[in-house]
Homo-oligomer: A and B are copies of this chain.
Amino acid sequence: MIAMMSPGSADAPGLPAGECPVAGTPDSPPGADRCEDRLARVALMRMAEAGDPVMGRLIRAYGPHGALGQARRGVLAPEFVAAEEAVAPRRRTDLDRLAASWAARYADPAADLAQGEERGARLVIPGDAEWPTQLDDLGDTRPFGLWLDGRANLRLSCLRSVAIVGARAATPYGTTVAADLAHGLGSRGWSVVSGGAYGIDGAAHRGALAVRTPTVVVLACGTDVCYPSAHEELFRAVRGRGVVVSEWPPGSHPTRLRFLVRNRVIAALSRGTVVVQAAVRSGALNTAAHASGLNRHLMAVPGPITSEASAGCHVLIRQGKAVCVTSVEEIVELVGSIGDDLAPEQRGQARPHDALNDETRRVLEAIPARGAAGPAAIAVAAGVDLTTALGCLGGLAAAGFVEAADRGWRLRRRG
């Protein structure tokens, strides 16, 4: 398989990267166009910051190839600059500097494609069969392309998926809950999307892998960079059954900014985001904000109020931003199709005495919690006549609720 082909993109041209001309004409055949777009997007993924909305709008206005032409020159078309100034008033010099920084970061996309292929990754871009179209909801900040490494088809894996996110510094309660929820979602045919960090992220993927469900790791570095390095084994397992995703070129290292930028992809890929544990200020709440902004379902798992690790979840619940969820059923009820996946209402176990009629129940209630009472006293306490009380007591004794005692009737202790 070549680097630029994805398992699901049978309609993508089969040209090796080296045969794609970087420059093309409007009359070039569709296959060549597509190939050109692909190379242009690879170049732009290195030149612009992931999620840069200015680049997003440049691509929308001029196509990937046209955008690349301007970015390489470091000079933007005057009408684009005018449109940008209308979108967000800014100093002309800011746009000039942005374009200059793009130009400074240009590198041969064919080399990136070759390097990606060599390291086992494939590129998918908008229009490919494997492209998850729900990313289009990101508008101007939609990824320019995605590098994928793993056996699963990203688009199919994310059709019914839930993001499970939370703190790196999770407690055993948090990792247990994350793994259990992922496990339960996997058992019900839902896949999991998360980052690749310690704590909640890792536990969620492990829970999903335990039921052999495709799980999606979205990284803030190249798919070939193992961060954190202790997750090498985990990422290998994910590649075997799920897929590792990145919008950065092979070899890219993570930065704090990239983790935050990456979070919008986690939120956009899935139908809803569950925050399992999060401090009041944490990256997980950033993902949560993206989920809300994208009109995805936002859910939070409550925890002990004595634990800082759940404080962010409680803030989301208190502010009405997240729905409090306590089980897989409740999650599936939210993200699932209406009518298909309704959560069973939490109910206590029905107790035998629910079946008693009002009169009999009042007689039962009138029997003291400790000691015994005579039938006349019970009748008075229950507000029924003696004959009624005696009838009820007989029935209650037969049903095992009460028993005769030295001084009347008493409750029968179970066990």
Binding site for B on A (CB under 8 A): 49, 97-98, 100-101, 104-105, 173, 176-177, 227, 253-258, 279-282, 301-306, 310-311, 314-315, 317-318, 323-327, 330, 346-349, 362, 364-371, 379-381, 383-385
In the complex, the answer to whether B383 meets A97 with C-beta atoms within 8 Å is yes
CB of A382, distance to nearest CB on chain B (Å): 8
Contacts A255-B368, A305-B326, A349-B281 given; does A97 touch B314 at CB 8 Å: no
Interchain CB contact under 8 A, B380 and A305: no
How distant is the Cα of A304 from the Cα of B323 in the complex, in angstroms?
16
Given contacts A347-B281, A348-B281, contact A368 B257 (CB under 8 A): no
Shortest Cβ gap from A96 to chain B (Å)? 11
Q: Is the CB of B365 within 8 A of A256?
A: yes
A142 to chain B, nearest CB (A): 19
Q: Hey, which chain B residues are within 8 Å of A365, CB to CB?
A: 255-258
Is the CB–CB distance between A306 and B177 below 8 Å? yes
Q: Which B residues are CB-close (under 8 A) to A346?
A: 280, 311, 314-315
Q: How far is the CA of A380 from the CA of B317 in the complex (A)?
A: 41
| Residue numbers in B under 8 Å from A379 (CB-CB) | 104
Residues of B contacting A255 in the complex (Cβ-Cβ under 8 angstroms): 365-369, 381
**Chain B: which residue is nearest A46 at the CB level?**
B380
Complex: how many Å from CA A81 to CA B128?
Answer: 79
Residue of B nearest to A364 (CB): B256
A254 to B258 CA separation, bound complex (whole angstroms): 63
Nearest CB in chain B: distance from A7 CB, A: 31
Report the 9 A-B pairs with minimum CB-CB distance, sorted nearest first.
A281-B348, A302-B302, A257-B365, A101-B383, A305-B326, A253-B368, A280-B348, A314-B326, A256-B365
A372 to chain B, nearest CB (A): 11
Q: How far is the CA of A362 from the CA of B314 in the complex (A)?
A: 31
Asked if B362 and A257 make an inter-chain contact with CB atoms under 8 angstroms apart, the answer reads yes
A324 with B314: in contact, given A255-B365, A304-B303, A370-B253 (CB under 8 Å)? yes
Chain B hits for A325, CB < 8 A: 318
Shortest Cβ gap from A351 to chain B (Å): 8
Q: Is the CB of B347 within 8 A of A380?
A: no
By CB atoms of chain B within 10 A, which of A227, A306, A367 has the most? A306
Q: Please determine whether A305 and B280 come into contact, CB atoms closer than 8 angstroms.
A: no
Shortest Cβ distance from residue A95 to the other chain B in the assembled complex, whole angstroms: 12
A196 CB, min distance to chain B CBs, angstroms? 13
Chain B nearest CB from A23 CB (Å) reads: 24
Nearest-CB residue, chain B, relative to A368: B253
B330 & A323 in contact (Cβ 8 Å cutoff): no
Known contacts: A105-B380, A255-B366, A349-B281. The answer to whether A318 contacts B323 by CB under 8 A is yes
Which residues on B sit within 8 Å (CB–CB) of A324? 302, 314, 317-318, 324
In whole angstroms, how far apart are the Cα atoms of A291 and B323 in the complex? 23
| A368 CB contacts on chain B under 8 angstroms | 253-255
CA of A173 to CA of B173, assembled, Å = 14
Of A101, A279, A311, chain B has the most CB atoms within 10 Å of the CB of A101
* Closest residue on chain B to residue A276 by CB atoms: B305
CB pair B330–A318 under 8 Å, yes or no, is yes
When A105-B380, A365-B257, A383-B98 are in contact, do A302 and B279 touch as well, CB less than 8 Å? Answer: no
> How far does the alpha carbon of A325 sit from the alpha carbon of B315 in the complex, in Å?
9
Residue ID in chain B nearest A376 by CB atoms: B104
User: Does the CB pair B348–A97 fall under 8 Å?
Assistant: no
